[in-house]
Structure 1
Amino acid sequence: MKTKKFLCLSLAMLLLSSLATACSSNNNGNTAGADTTAKPDATKSTNAGGEEVKKDKVTYTIFNGVAGSKDGNTNETTIGKMLEDQTGVNFKLEFLVGDLNTKIGTMIAANEYPDVLIPDAAIEEVLNAGAFIPLDDLIDKYGPNIKRVYGDDLDQMRSADGKLYFLPMSAQVGDFVPDPEPTAAFWVQRRVLEEAGYPKVKTLDQYMQLIENYAAKHKDEGLTGMVSLTHDWRFFATANPPMHLLGYPNDGNVMVDPTTLEAKTYSGSDAAKRWLQALNQLNSKGLFDKASFVDNYDQYIAKLTSHKVLGFFDYRWQVQNALNVLKDAARKDPSLDGYNYFPLPVTFDENTQDAYVDGPGGLVTNRGIGITVSAKHPERIIQYFDNMLKEENQILLSWGIKGETYEVNDQGRYYRTAEQINKIDEAFNEKFGFKYYSWNWPSYGGNSTLSDGNAKGVGYQPEVFQMSLTDKDKEILNKYGAQTYTQMFAKPIDRPWYPAWGFVKEQNSPELMWETNKDELTKKYYPKLVLASPGKFDSIWGDFEKEWNKLDTAGYEKWTTEQVKKKVNMGK
């Protein structure tokens, strides 16, 4: 979601899926534009706007500011090769290793950029440096599908000078299709639930007790009760739970009252104190992983797949790769199913309605993909993006190839056979290209509907979701009287402003300054609070409160409330 600090927004989607990493820091992904010299026998075609589209082969560089897949070329995947055949364009991909701000800062200092940049939380710095070129004229000339998909929403992306410098990652197209899995949750290993007799777990106290009981019975197994992610901008995975425990969705730094539309922060609230004190108690019993405050993202993912971690809180997109690894292993060897994680709708109190399932919301405008000043012939890049947004290519990117990765029944419904589901594991996703193209590119939103009524997202198609469930999945869901995971969670309510972390903020504004200072403060004190002896907790909290009260939190809340009301009025 995911209180990432954004220039034009405020994370966490979050949706995304999050990826496992491996890239080399000496990769030339941050060099100037690639050679775009046309071959003598280059072929040409026209796009939907009648503009000529060159198809001579060219490779552009792209840097993704989210730690992810292995570095590589898109044309080394099935999907990427098909898109290259259509456009002549290949992308050499580099994914983040190490610190995002350091990487982006190096690019800015040298004034050397990849051709395309996905700066993620560092988008403010990239815009301040003037690294992106304006896209308005390129879209007018080469982007009919970009206009079709994003429409008037593009106006929300404009900078103070009225120009458009980057494209949002996705936009809702067609009817909203609900997700059969929660956006976020408190996760626990299935073997823990099984041993406890599949109890109802609603409150944080019940969740912690469940973990403690299992760990006490398995003292010689070297188990970790909980881990938490704190690395870099992903600190939100540790800071965000208070709002969820109070029954609010991920609006970033605030909780928004759906009736009054008033925004209130929570990082210095009693709810935050209650959450951190729960972790402190767990730590005092030797069940919290102290390394959580020093581990990087890769180490965190590795621990989740180690079979040793009983529980954690996080957003599904951020741990999807780990969940997939565990699921793949359990499909091949059902005896490993107990190491899979099960999502639980945990709140502070029994009577609090949870909000872990995302409903329809607004456009996320503080993340995106842009073309840099280093790119030669940027029209080739915008044409590639526009071509991706053709519906047949959105089907390719999500569903793949008919007869190979999906089928169509007599009623025109897309589905996957059991054989196809079993073969599409993490290795297949990488080779075919599903992993490279799953996020960070211009696309239909995951909850979108295709023109023929099928879900754009494969996992959102009811037929596919049910077919993808193993016998053990169905058995456990049945224990809780559910057919999908989201049936265990509360239905989302209408929040037309959502997500508040996506509101555009002016560069160097008081709002961004507040977020920076808040992040520094929580990163300084939250580790102390969790790792302190229980007797010192209140004293450290008092020190934190003194520093917290120096922030202009009232000003931040006032500004955010104004943005919420503006967004709601825009939708009327």
Structure 2
Amino acid sequence: MKTKWRKASAVIMMGTMLTVAGCQSDNAATKEETTGPVTFSLFSADPHSQWDNMESPVSQKVKETTEVTIEPEFDVGGGEQKIPLMIASGEYPDLILPKGNAGKLVDAGALIDLTDLIEEHAPNLKKVYGDYFNRLKWSGEDESIYILPTSRVDHTYWAPGNGFMLQHDVVKQLGYPEIRTVDDFENAIREYKEKNPTIDGQPTIGLSLLADDWRIMISTTNPAFYATGAPDDGEFYIDPETYEATMHYRRPEEKAYFKWLNHMNAEGLLDQESFVQKYDQYLAKISSGRVLGLIDTDWEVGDAQRALREAGKTERMHGMYPVTLTEEYKHPNFQDTGYLGGWGIGITTECEDPVRAIKFLDYLASEEGQILQNWGIEGEHYTIEDGKRVISDEEMNERNNNANYVKNTGIGVLSGFAPLYGDGVTDSTGQTYSIASPDQIINAYTDTEKEVLSNYNVEMWKDLYPQKEEFPVKPWGAAYNMQVEAGTDLELIMQKSLDVVKKRIPEAILADPSEFDDVWDSFMADLESAGVEQAEADYTEMIKDRLELWE
């Protein structure tokens, strides 16, 4: 089996694309399954800071069981440049995690239909997806399965992933003030910064944002809909009654949010490097302990939080608060989407042994594979006591405090390559597949965190947020993982609109306050010139089509 990507067949050309796409399933079925060790190349549109080269104990166990080695490439650019280059050259890896670019690969005839492979060789995948299997279908016109979604199934969220983040020492010094609105957040940063102009000899930074490539959406633009009570549907707001899509920046309440960020800049509370710093610089700055406030996701700043913890700077770690523009809004972090489907992993037409590939993914989804990815190896990372898996205090301390624990042990290294059950789901022994539980999460908190939460009269960060029962379930899931068909007017308009966003949002935030309205009006005009109204109409149809497909 190869270890480098090979040139795709010459027949995958524009004139024969539809024919190739139509026979992919048959081609996959006729390729012979190999025996013995095999190496699969893999491309991921996301970076992987804990990749272990499959040399850790858990990954070695997976290799021993499956005889499969993964040779990956992890992108830092979201695949936005590299996937089109693959398509242009016809060179693909065996396995691919394309995020939002799967549509381009499907249109290029690069992904095989996995339906028959799953039916014949992947009982564990079928079991994990269960009642949600229908959500794997590509579209109403093409019911093939090209992507295996990798989000956790039936997941119970016990920690908020999105919100406004404040250093623990900030709220502690200020007597634990209410942190509910952007004004509360701003006042806390201002007051603490005035009292503490430096931290460890370096200038204190009030609020730092990140706008490095696609990450501008995570730290700078996505918070605008959360802070105004709207859930994450990517670049669009979906009316829950009519299912009409509106590019979310065109909502008046979001203009008010960005005007607040403009005010933060004018007040000297915004990091002046926010729109020029790279991701690694952003993490290093947070890890230094001098950034008071963040507006971000837990996964994007996770490495910096672990570094602070490992350095013993627990008071410089950040708590997550459900801040919104005003109290009339409720932060929708916990609104239920149902099972998302969408983003995940696919097998390309270049894979010489799709049966071995699907069996490898099926193993990761098996009970044994999931226990390995969540708990580790019996006798090494946990023991069995009275029939139950138990993690020692010493091992749990390593999990919580060693920034390289995942890489060193391999626990969780491969978990993003296949679907897994979510927190709270139990295995055949009655134990949860994951180690996460309210008690475990609370026990993993630092003493500083526990002190902060106690002073806010809650046990967990989740308790500060509106709960999922306060919101209706979104019948369309999450719109951001719908695939926009390549080469369409919608794709072109979306790219033009995002180019406008990347230019105008920083400009609006950094403008003199007296010029903000003019910049914003230009922003709205640019979106209209890009064809945003047509994009909204097309996206509305996509939402309605998904609702029909999922019925």
Report if TM-score (shorter chain) is over 0.5.
yes
Q: Distance in 1 between matches of 2:268 and 2:3?
A: 43
1:66-77 equivalent positions in 2, closer than 5 A:
66-69=46-49, 73-74=53-54, 76-77=55-56
Is residue 2:432 matched to residue 1:455? Answer: yes
Question: Secondary structure in 1 aligned to 2:439?
Answer: helix
Asked if 1:212 corresponds to 2:186, the answer is no
Q: Match for residue 182 of structure 1?
A: 160
2:146 to 145, 159, 165: 165
Contact 1:184/1:314, CA 8 A, preserved across alignment: yes
Residue matched to 1:376: 352
Counterpart residue identity of residue 31, structure 1: W
Q: 2:449 aligns with which of 470, 473, 495?
A: 473
> Structure 2 vs 1, CA of residues 31 and 560 (structure 1 numbering), >3 Å: closer, same or farther?
closer
Q: 2:6 matched to which residue of 1?
A: 32
Q: CA deviation at 1:254?
A: 2.9
Q: State the Cα distance separating 1:131 from its structure 2 match.
A: 2.4
Moved more, 227-236 or 381-390: 227-236
Aligned to 1:538: 517
Judged with a 3 Å threshold, the aligned counterparts in structure 2 of structure 1 residues 537 and 303 are, in CA distance, closer, same or farther, namely same
Q: Which runs of 5+ in 1 are unaligned?
A: 1-27, 34-51
SS in 2 for 1:291: coil
- Name structure 2 gaps, 5 residues minimum: 8-31
Match of 2:338 among 361, 364, 367: 361
> Counterpart of 1:507 in structure 2: which amino acid?
A
How far residue 559 of structure 1 moved from its aligned partner, in angstroms, is 4.8
Partner Cα distance (2:341, 2:459) in 1: 30
Q: Give the conservation status (yes or no) of the 8 Å contact 1:55–1:86.
A: no
**95, 100, 103: which one aligns with 2:82:** 103
Displacement of 1:140 in angstroms is 2.8
Once the two structures are TM-superposed, the CA of residue 481 in structure 1 deviates from its matched residue by 0.7
Question: CA offsets, 1:93-135, max 9 Å, x none?
Answer: 2211457333223333332222212122333333333322332
Cα distance, 1:503 vs structure 2 = 2.9
- Pair 1:171–1:72, CA change in 2 (3 A): closer
Which of 364, 381, 387 pairs up with 1:405? Answer: 381
Indicate whether 1:324 and 2:303 are aligned.
no
Tell me which of 367, 370, 387 is aligned to 2:363: 387
**How many aligned positions are there?**
515
- The match for 1:113 is 92
Q: Separation in 1 of the partners of 2:100 and 2:3? A: 19
The one of 249, 255, 273 equivalent to 2:231 is 249
Identity %: 31
- 2:323 corresponds to 1:349: no
8 Å Cα contact 1:29-1:114 kept in structure 2? no
Question: Is the CA contact (8 Å cut-off) linking 2:153 and 2:421 kept in structure 1?
Answer: yes
Instruction: Provide the rounded CA distance (Å) in 1 between the counterparts of 2:364 and 2:424.
Output: 17
Offset of residue 483 of structure 1: 0.7
Instruction: Give secondary structure in 2 for the equivalent of 1:439.
Output: helix
Does the alignment pair 1:80 with 2:59?
yes
Deviation at 1:377, TM superposition (A): 1.8
1:49-85 alpha-carbon deviations (Å, 9 max, x no partner): xxx98651122221221122266532x1212111111
CA contact (8 A) 1:183 1:316 kept: yes
Cα-to-partner distance string for 1:307-363 (whole Å, 9 max, x where unaligned): 12111111222222222222333xxx3xx1111010011011123222122535232
Tell me how far apart the structure 1 counterparts of residues 85 and 337 of structure 2 sit (CA, whole Å): 38
Q: Which moved more, 1:238-247 or 1:337-346?
A: 238-247
Moved more, 200-209 or 131-140: 131-140
C-alpha distance in structure 2 between counterparts of 1:379 and 1:234, whole Å: 36
The equivalent position to 1:516 in structure 2, one of 450, 471, 495, is: 495
1:150 maps to what in 2? 129
Aligned amino acid, residue 197 of structure 2:
K
Do 2:361 and 2:417's aligned partners in 1 also have CA atoms closer than 8 Å?
no
The alpha carbon displacement at 1:166 in A equals: 2.2
Provide the C-alpha distance between the structure 2 equivalents of 1:290 and 1:301, rounded to a whole number of angstroms.
Answer: 16
**C-alpha spacing 1:266/1:489, structure 2 compared with 1 (3 Å):** same
Equivalents in 2 of 1:277, 1:264: separation in Å?
A: 20
CA drift at 1:256: 3.7
2:275 paired residue among 276, 293, 314: 293
Aligned equivalent of 1:61, options 37, 41, 44:
41
Amino acid corresponding to residue 111 of structure 2 in structure 1: F
Matched, 1:428 2:405: yes
TM-superposed deviation, 1:242: 1.9
Q: TM-score if structure 1 supplies the norm length?
A: 0.82
Q: Pick closer, same or farther for the CA change 1:448–1:383 going to 2, 3 Å.
A: same
Indicate how the Cα distance of structure 1 residues 157 and 231 shifts in structure 2: closer, same or farther if over 3 A, else same.
Answer: farther
Larger displacement relative to structure 2 (289-298 or 207-216)? 289-298
The amino acid of 1:320's aligned partner reads: G
1:89 Cα shift? 0.7
- Once the two structures are TM-superposed, the CA of residue 419 in structure 1 deviates from its matched residue by 1.4
Query: Aligned AA for 1:422?
Result: N
After TM superposition, give the deviation of residue 192 of structure 1 in Å: 0.9
Rounded Cα–Cα distance in structure 2 between residues aligned with 1:66 and 1:325: 21
Summarize the Cα distance change of 1:455–1:314 in structure 2 as closer, same or farther, 3 Å threshold: farther
Residue in structure 2 matching 1:484, options 438, 446, 460: 460
User: Given that residues 226 and 332 in structure 2 are in contact (C-alpha distance below 8 angstroms), is that contact kept between their aligned partners in structure 1?
Assistant: yes
User: What CA distance in whole angstroms lies between the structure 1 residues aligned with 2:101 and 2:549?
Assistant: 28
Q: Which residue of 1 aligns with 2:14?
A: none
Answer yes or no: is 1:228 the counterpart of 2:202: no
State whether residues 525 and 544 of structure 1, in contact with CA within 8 Å, keep that contact through their aligned partners in structure 2.
yes
- For residues 4 and 193 of structure 2, the distance between their equivalents in structure 1, rounded to whole angstroms, comes to 47
Q: RMSD in angstroms over aligned alpha carbons?
A: 2.8
| Conserved 8 A contact 2:135-2:550 | no
Structure 1 position 543, deviation (Å): 1.2
Larger deviation, residues 292-301 vs 503-512: 503-512
> Which digits, 9 at most, give the CA deviation of each residue in 1:162-221, with x for residues without a partner?
432221113525xx53x2210201001111111111111100111112112211222244
Give 3-state SS (helix, strand or coil) of 2:209's partner: coil
Instruction: Evaluate the alpha carbon distance shift between residue 264 and residue 456 of structure 1 in structure 2; reply closer, same or farther with a 3 A threshold.
Output: farther
My pick for the range that moved more, 356-365 or 235-244, is: 356-365
Does the CA-based 8 Å contact 1:32-1:375 persist in structure 2? no
Q: What letter corresponds to residue 416 of structure 1 in structure 2?
A: I
Instruction: Give TM-score, length-normalised by structure 2.
Output: 0.85
